[in-house]
């Protein structure tokens, strides 16, 4: 059992444990009644920032779900609505004045895509900027991490935003595969399905199944289980309506086969479905 200590010291020790990725010690401090899981050091680091930088899924879950550690990074509803209604051609705010490194910046740069999922579901924005005007998309491109970048593309995030130095995500990209997918996104000027023109209101979304771009009316964004063992739907996905329909049809076929209680029938249907690249429900498989 941990000896009682000054709350400020306990908060500093929690921060240090998270920085050191010392999971056992961090968990002990998080059990303290007066612990502040959103404690911020003078250089703007928090327990959540360090956990996301280190890629510790377990501590990230606990800080987010049990201690509400994301709240300090989330804009309130009025601020979000004002941002959504603002003129997209308006001069951006001074990054040195308003920018800060969020846990999403660190998780994106380090390539910890499952933590990126968690942070997005908690409401952190990939468009928040750091002191150089970089968004989480810039950081993902700079790290060359394709799964993180695909995640942002599937959420409709703009790939052409510039940082304070005038650099786009493509300018900072470090791998060919990341450069290629950003190029493809920018080059796709119309929805593959309805052919509507993409702009700041008609946003492009990336289908994770067919790897093409669609407008919001021709795609479906949702949260799914990552693995059969997952307890919560925390994986963000986007599919075009066509791929989504094929997926649902395949899942119905699988359920019907399982209802027969016949192994050969199930095996036959499963073998056929695996050839179709349908991203079936992991809980079903």
Contact 93, 38 (CB under 8 A): no
The answer, yes or no, to whether residue 213 has pLDDT greater than 60, is yes
- pLDDT tier, 186 (very low <50, low <70, confident <90, very high otherwise): very high
Quickly list DSSP for 174-222.
-SHHHHHHHHHHHH--B-TTT-PBP-SSS--EE-TTT--EE-GGGEEEE
Q: What is the pLDDT of residue 107?
A: 98
Distance CA 73, CA 41 (A): 15
Contact 234, 121 (CB under 8 A): yes
The answer, yes or no, to whether residue 241 has pLDDT greater than 60, is yes
Q: What is the pLDDT of residue 77?
A: 45
- Evaluate whether residue 181 is within a structural domain: yes
- Evaluate whether residue 249 is within a structural domain: no
- Evaluate whether residue 108 is within a structural domain: yes
Specify the higher pLDDT residue, 185 or 86: 185
- Evaluate whether residue 205 is within a structural domain: no
Q: What is the CB-side half-sphere exposure of residue 230 using CA atoms within 13 A?
A: 18
CATH number at residue 172: 1.25.40.20
- Evaluate whether residue 263 is within a structural domain: no
- pLDDT tier, 88 (very low <50, low <70, confident <90, very high otherwise): very low
Q: What is the pLDDT of residue 2?
A: 54
Contact 70, 123 (CB under 8 A): yes
The answer, yes or no, to whether residue 111 has pLDDT greater than 90, is yes
- Evaluate whether residue 44 is within a structural domain: yes
User: SS3 of 235, please?
Assistant: strand
- Evaluate whether residue 211 is within a structural domain: no
Number of domains observed in the structure of the chain: 1
pTM higher than 0.85: yes
Across the range 167-195, mean pLDDT stands at 97
Range of the domain at 135: 7-74+87-185
Q: What is the pLDDT of residue 91?
A: 47
Q: What percent of the chain has pLDDT over 70?
A: 90
The answer, yes or no, to whether residue 76 has pLDDT greater than 70, is no
Average predicted confidence (pLDDT) for the chain: 90
- pLDDT tier, 102 (very low <50, low <70, confident <90, very high otherwise): very high
Please give the angle made by the CA atoms of 50, 55 and 58, to the nearest 5 degrees: 95
- Quick count: other Cβ atoms within 10 Å of Cβ 246? 19
Across the range 36-49, mean pLDDT stands at 95
- Evaluate whether residue 118 is within a structural domain: yes
Q: What is the pLDDT of residue 82?
A: 55
């Amino acid at each position: 059992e941990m000896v009682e200590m000054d709350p400020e010291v306990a908060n500093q020790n929690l921060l240090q444990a998270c920085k050191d990725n010392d999971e056992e010690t961090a968990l002990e401090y998080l059990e303290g009644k007066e612990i502040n899981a959103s404690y911020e050091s003078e250089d703007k680091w928090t327990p959540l920032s360090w956990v996301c930088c280190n890629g510790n899924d377990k501590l990230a879950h606990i800080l987010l779900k049990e201690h509400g550690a994301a709240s300090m990074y989330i804009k309130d509803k009025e601020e979000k609505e004002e941002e959504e209604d603002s003129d997209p051609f308006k001069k951006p705010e001074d990054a040195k004045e308003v920018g800060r490194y969020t846990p999403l910046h660190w998780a994106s740069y380090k390539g910890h895509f499952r933590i990126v999922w968690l942070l997005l579901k908690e409401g952190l924005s990939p468009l928040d900027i750091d002191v150089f005007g970089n968004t989480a998309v810039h950081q993902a491109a700079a790290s060359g991490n394709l799964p993180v970048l695909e995640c942002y593309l599937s959420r409709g995030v703009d790939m052409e935003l510039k940082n304070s130095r005038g650099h786009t995500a493509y300018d900072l990209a470090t791998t060919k595969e990341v450069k290629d997918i950003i190029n493809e996104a920018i080059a796709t000027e119309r929805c593959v399905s309805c052919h509507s023109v993409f702009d700041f209101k008609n946003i492009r979304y990336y289908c994770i199944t067919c790897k093409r771009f669609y407008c919001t009316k021709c795609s479906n964004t949702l949260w799914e289980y990552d693995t059969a063992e997952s307890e919560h739907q925390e994986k963000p996905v986007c599919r075009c309506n066509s791929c989504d329909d094929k997926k649902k049809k395949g899942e119905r076929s699988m359920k019907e086969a399982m209802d027969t209680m016949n192994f050969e029938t199930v095996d036959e249907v499963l073998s056929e479905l695996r050839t179709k690249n349908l991203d079936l429900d992991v809980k079903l498989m």
